[in-house]
Amino acid sequence: MQKGKSNYERIILTVMALAAIAGSAWFIMQANGFSATVEIPTFKRGEEVGSPPLANLITCITIASTDPKPWIAPVRNNKAVYLNKSVLLVQKGDEIFDLFIDDKPFRAPMTNKFLRENELDYLSPNVGELDPDSDGFSNKEEFEKGTNPKDAKKHPAITDKLFLVERISHDYKINLRSSSSPYQIATPDDRMRKNWFVDPNAAEVAGKSFGAGGRFISGAFVKKVVPDPKVGEKDVSELSVEDTLRKNTITLVMGTETNLADYEARFEFRLHKVLTIKAKKGDSFRIEGFADITYKVIDIQEDSAVIAPLKEGGDYDKDKEILIKKG
């Protein structure tokens, strides 16, 4: 039994060997026939490698023979920046800006330091108009006033958001109409009486006051004339009058109307929403939401007004006056 199995294995090995010899012979025959199917191109002498690239060769020689340009490190605070230190560079148009250097601001008028230290969105073209802390003041406004654009509790003065819209005039006209005693004075804006006759030299005190509520007290009279090409002489006599309401003295000139108008300012407070505030010269007011401060109107002009915060006693410091521009 064992002998039959051994013979069987020999037969298998013999068949495998013959198959291997046949396969090798087939590959050799195929290899010998492959060269006959390949066409080998022919070259003329001198054309084996083509023309040399002279332009590239000259460039390579130039680069190899030229000393390399030295690295020029950026300078900050008169010190060169090390090669291993990061540099915050941004590009705008064809210009490169180093945000660690303030000599060349990336978003003028704000400095690069302001943008960098407050971590503002400097890549946004309108970064100056943004309000990251939502306090009603833009980054540009906070930069100009030196406040923190990321802290809503630290912002410019609220009066920066107060604007004069218009000056309203409440006219009160008065004029001297005669230059002989008793002197006629017209107050056309008085509802109760439009004409008054006063004599500064009268003994009765009542005769020296006039105007609604006895607002005015007559003073000295001075007779004056000036040359006039049409009538020869023009009467420009003067009567001094004390204004008890305003606590000052005015001079009435014959034939010239004087307007003692009271002015009222119409303000707008523009922070988050628009609030309208009206106040006459000498009046006081407060701003809604900021009632801890009372302001007094010191003066009102056509294009501006002056206000000041009041102290506890009702007075104010002249050096704390605030100019409110028309806008």
pLDDT digits (tens, 9 = 90+) for 279-310: 999 999 999 999 899 999 999 999 999 999 99
* Banded pLDDT at 90 (limits 50, 70, 90): confident
In a domain, 194, yes or no: yes
Co-location of 195 and 137 in the same domain: no
Looking at 259, 281, 307, which one is the last position of a domain?
A: 259
* Banded pLDDT at 123 (limits 50, 70, 90): very high
Co-location of 279 and 299 in the same domain: yes
Tens of pLDDT, residues 16-37: 777 777 667 666 666 665 555 5
Averaged pLDDT for residues 43-53: 59
Co-location of 210 and 289 in the same domain: no
In a domain, 21, yes or no: no
Residue 74 CA to residue 102 CA, distance in Å, equals 13
Co-location of 210 and 246 in the same domain: yes
In a domain, 196, yes or no: yes
Co-location of 193 and 247 in the same domain: yes
Looking at 218, 239, 259, which one is the last position of a domain?
A: 259
In a domain, 25, yes or no: no
Say if CB 246 and CB 260 are below 8 A apart: yes
In a domain, 214, yes or no: yes
Distances (CA, A) of 214 to 208, 210, 211: 9, 5, 5
- Top mean pLDDT of 100-109, 211-220, 279-288 is at 279-288
Q: Which of 101, 150, 146 is nearest to 127 (CA)?
A: 150
In a domain, 67, yes or no: no
Contacts of 260 (CB under 8 A, 6+ apart): 172, 173, 174, 243, 246, 250
Q: Which of 287, 284, 282, 319 is nearest to 298 (CA)?
A: 282
In a domain, 85, yes or no: no
| Confidence at residue 149, expressed as pLDDT on a 0 to 100 scale | 96
Say if CB 212 and CB 190 are below 8 A apart: yes
| Confidence at residue 327, expressed as pLDDT on a 0 to 100 scale | 92
Q: In the chain, how many domains are there?
A: 3
Average pLDDT of the chain is: 83
* Banded pLDDT at 118 (limits 50, 70, 90): very high
> Which DSSP helix (H) or strand (E) runs through 180?
none
| Confidence at residue 252, expressed as pLDDT on a 0 to 100 scale | 94
| Confidence at residue 243, expressed as pLDDT on a 0 to 100 scale | 92
Q: Considering just the CA atoms, what is the radius of gyration of the chain in Å?
A: 50
Question: What domain range includes position 295?
Answer: 163-167+263-325
Q: Which of 11-15, 48-52, 316-320 has the lowest mean pLDDT?
A: 48-52
| Confidence at residue 194, expressed as pLDDT on a 0 to 100 scale | 80
Provide the 3-class DSSP secondary structure of residue 142: helix
Position with higher pLDDT, 213 vs 183: 183
Looking at 210, 232, 259, which one is the last position of a domain?
A: 259
Co-location of 106 and 126 in the same domain: yes
| Confidence at residue 280, expressed as pLDDT on a 0 to 100 scale | 94
> Which DSSP helix (H) or strand (E) runs through 41?
none
Q: What percent of the chain has pLDDT over 70?
A: 76
Q: Which of 56-65, 178-187, 197-206, 226-235 has the lowest mean pLDDT?
A: 197-206
Q: In what order do the strands lie in the sheet with 262-271?
A: 162-170, 262-271, 273-280
| Confidence at residue 324, expressed as pLDDT on a 0 to 100 scale | 97
